[in-house]
Amino acid sequence: MSPNSCLIYKVRYAEDKRFISHVEAKVYENGKLTPLEQYTRKEIVTKIEKGYTVKTCIQIAGDNYKDGANVGIYSFNGVEYITTDPNNTEADNLGELPTFNLR
């Protein structure tokens, strides 16, 4: 894992289901991997702007995962979204990641 990186495991969509509001992710920084934590979309945007490598993390079997697609920022109508597919829409696309409820 590269220094200052982030792996997104799950997503939470806004109430209207149009875009991602939060993610569950692990962050690798200062030589340590954090436990799975919840972050807002804006917090992930800030990490990308600071140079973090952000990727999806796909479950392949049991507790085994593999790195997925690179996640980037897409600005649409003045709002920044996180996406793996900049497709000129506010609808975020982070692959087939499972969803979660806020704690």
Q: What is the pLDDT of residues 16-33, one digit of tens each?
A: 877 899 999 999 988 898
Looking at residue 29, what is its pLDDT? 86
State how many domains the chain has: 1
Residue 24 tokens, joined: 């569950």
Does any domain span residue 36?
yes
* Prediction pTM value: 0.86
Does any domain span residue 52?
yes
Does any domain span residue 98?
no
Neighbours of 5 (CB within 10 A): 18
Does any domain span residue 90?
no
Amino acid at 25: A
Q: Contact at 8 Å (CB) between 35 and 25?
A: no
| Domain that residue 14 falls in | 5-83
Q: Contact at 8 Å (CB) between 8 and 57?
A: yes
What pLDDT, in 10s, does the model give residues 64-82? 888 888 999 988 889 898 9
- Collect all residues with Cβ–Cβ distance below 8 Å to 99 and sequence separation of at least 6: 10, 11, 12, 13
Does any domain span residue 26?
yes
Does any domain span residue 91?
no
